[in-house]
Amino acid sequence: MAELVCFDPSCRERYAITDVLYNCRRCGGLLEAAYQFDHDAGRLKKLFRERRMSNDPLDASGVWRYRELFDFLDHYSCVTTLREGNTPLLEAPLAAAYGGLDRVAFKHQGFNPTGSFKDNGMTCGVAQARRLGMRRVACVSTGNTSASMAAYAAAAGLEALIFLPHGNISFGKLAQSLEYGARTFQVEANFDQILALVRTLAEKMGIYLLNSVNPFRIEGQKSIVFEMLDQRDWRAPDWIVLPGGNLGNTSAFGKALREAREIGLIGTIPRLAVIQAAGSAPFHDFIENGGEFRAVEKPETLATAIRIGDPVSWPKALYEIRASRGVVEKVSEQEIADAKAQVGRAGIGCEPASAATLAGIRKLTAKGVIARGADVVAVLTGNLLKDPDYIYRYHTGQLQAPGGAKIEPRFANRPVVVPNDADRIAELIG
């Protein structure tokens, strides 16, 4: 009963779920998977909980466990799973205090197989590629998407083609793509320019595109919300705070929440708060200033996972922000770096883009937008070791923002050089 539908409310053109499309043929709008749900909420909750005890690969996946909520496949033999999802909700009192909250829980997607939330969407995107008989998959990536696609393509026996901006990627992320055997092309252009290039190549050569413009990526990323709600016994929080780059997660989270309420899994929709880096904040500026959406021609931020100047999913994200009465905030490089250090002090750790959530919470509580006693879930999108150079440079006072401005190591934990002398070391420790 699944089909592809144009997201533009003035169009809503419909297509078969097996059509290889990323945009509407009539109006050029984004596409989404649509379903005719006929589920009993109580039965689903019981089923999802029972599956946690199952060793079946589909049930053991924190994505496919919730497959009734994105039922676009007619069979599951095309699914490749690395037991993605299954990511924890972590309480962080120190980070909560820094953010101006009584408490906060981090939904840490860095616990995924390749260390980021991309795995939730990629398992669905690769399943659709295999269903369609595709042999090659491609993506444009600043790091996490390429690592995820390379791993799932390798596991599925597909050829992975990765395109990335030359010189603008964390080596921790690039190393994953190389290790998983993907063919990697470093293009002398920015992310948005390369995406246009690759879309042309995909159409010309019959390659399946797995960036977030692919609607099945969005379907997989909905599972982040379903799993979080399941972990909370289907009690919706007041706020879900997440970083904003290409805005695929914003689109996926909003869609998941609306569908969960439609089915009866939750009674209210949490408010979404999307946080962008100040040097790559076209969505924030659009929400703040109105008028036409304008891309940032030269996006800049050390948080490479959200260094995107022309996010393809902004129309969907706009709808979800409005539907959830949400907000969009932007934070500086200094604010991201300090917040990242605070997440680390909580014993959790994350990549720079993830720390935008805590930096944004700190600003929104200071403004009175989020109440101190609010029930807040913040999403950490990637693992601490995605960008280790950033961490070392911050704690040793060497980190610089784009343009060369020094980032102050306000919460530095500098390593200390010591002599080979037990008494001297004991003195320093004491």
Cα separation, 121 vs 70, whole angstroms: 11
What is the arithmetic mean of pLDDT over 299-316? 93
Q: Are residues 32 and 96 in the same domain?
A: no
pTM: 0.96
Q: By residue range, what is the domain housing residue 32? A: 1-36
Give phi and psi for 157, each to the nearest 5: 80, 25
pLDDT at residue 165 above 90? no
Per the domain annotation, does 362 fall within a domain? yes
pLDDT at residue 86 above 90? yes
Give the pLDDT band of residue 166 (cuts 50, 70, 90). Answer: confident
Structurally, the chain folds into a number of domains equal to 2
Per DSSP, helices labelled H in 346-382 are 352-366
What is the arithmetic mean of pLDDT over 397-418? 95
**Residue-level pLDDT at 168:** 64
pLDDT at residue 154 above 90? yes
**Residue-level pLDDT at 264:** 98
Q: Are residues 31 and 94 in the same domain?
A: no
Per the domain annotation, does 188 fall within a domain? no
- Report the Cα–Cα distance between both ends of the chain, in Å, rounded: 68
Q: Are residues 10 and 109 in the same domain?
A: no
Per the domain annotation, does 193 fall within a domain? no
What is the arithmetic mean of pLDDT over 149-173? 88
**Residue-level pLDDT at 265:** 98
Q: Are residues 263 and 337 in the same domain?
A: yes
**Residue-level pLDDT at 210:** 97
Judged by average pLDDT, the poorest of 168-177, 237-246, 372-381 is: 168-177
pLDDT at residue 169 above 80? no
Q: Are residues 98 and 5 in the same domain?
A: no
Judged by average pLDDT, the poorest of 172-181, 214-223, 237-246, 323-332 is: 172-181
Per the domain annotation, does 3 fall within a domain? yes
**Residue-level pLDDT at 158:** 98
- CATH no. for residue 106? 3.40.50.1100
Q: Please give the share of the chain, as a percent, with pLDDT higher than 90.
A: 91
CA torsion 67→247→266→2, rounded to 10°? -40
Residues 6+ apart with CB under 8 A from 356: 243, 244, 275, 276, 277, 303, 306, 331, 336, 339
Cα separation, 213 vs 207, whole angstroms: 14
Q: Using one digit for the tens of pLDDT, what is the confidence trace for 25-34?
A: 999 999 999 9
Angle subtended at Cα 208 by Cα 202 and Cα 209, rounded to the nearest 5 degrees: 75
pLDDT at residue 191 above 80? no
What is the arithmetic mean of pLDDT over 357-370? 98
Q: Using one digit for the tens of pLDDT, what is the confidence trace for 36-83?
A: 999 999 999 999 999 999 999 999 999 999 999 999 999 999 999 999
Average pLDDT of every residue of the chain: 95
What is the arithmetic mean of pLDDT over 117-133? 98
Report the candidate in 117, 326, 340 with the shortest Cα–Cα distance to residue 228. Answer: 117
pLDDT at residue 195 above 90? no
**Residue-level pLDDT at 164:** 87
Per the domain annotation, does 405 fall within a domain? no
Per the domain annotation, does 126 fall within a domain? no
Cα separation, 400 vs 406, whole angstroms: 4
Per the domain annotation, does 206 fall within a domain? no
**Residue-level pLDDT at 373:** 98
Q: Are residues 30 and 106 in the same domain?
A: no
**Residue-level pLDDT at 96:** 98
Give phi and psi for 353, each to the nearest 5: -60, -35
Cα separation, 85 vs 70, whole angstroms: 15
Per the domain annotation, does 96 fall within a domain? yes
pLDDT at residue 275 above 90? yes
Give phi and psi for 264, each to the nearest 5: 100, 15
Give the pLDDT band of residue 206 (cuts 50, 70, 90). Answer: very high
